[in-house]
Amino acid sequence: MAKTERVGVYPGTFDPTTNGHMDIIKRGARVLDRLVIGVAVNAGKGPLFSLDERVEMVRDEVATLDDPKIGEIEVKPFDSLLMQFAEAQNADCILRGLRAVSDFDYEFQMAGMNARLNADIEILFLMASERHQFIASRLVKEIAALGGDITSFVSPAVARRVNEQFGRLDLQAVNE
Residue pLDDT, tens place only, 86-100: 999 999 999 999 887
d(CA 80, CA 73): 20
Binned at pLDDT 50, 70 and 90, residue 125 comes out as very high
Name the CATH superfamily for 7-130: HUPs (3.40.50.620)
| Cα end-to-end distance, the chain, whole Å | 55
This prediction has a pTM of: 0.89
Average pLDDT over the chain, rounded to an integer: 89
pLDDT at residue number 10 = 98
Distances from the Cα of 136 to the Cαs of 30, 98, 143, 148, in angstroms? Answer: 23, 11, 11, 15
pLDDT at 126 over 60: yes
pLDDT at 134: 82
List the chain domain ranges. 7-130
User: Which residues are marked as active site?
Assistant: 21, 45, 99, 137
3-state percent helix, strand, coil for the chain, nearest multiple of 5: 45, 20, 35
- C-alpha dist (Å) from residue 103 to 57, 110, 130, 133: 24, 11, 15, 11
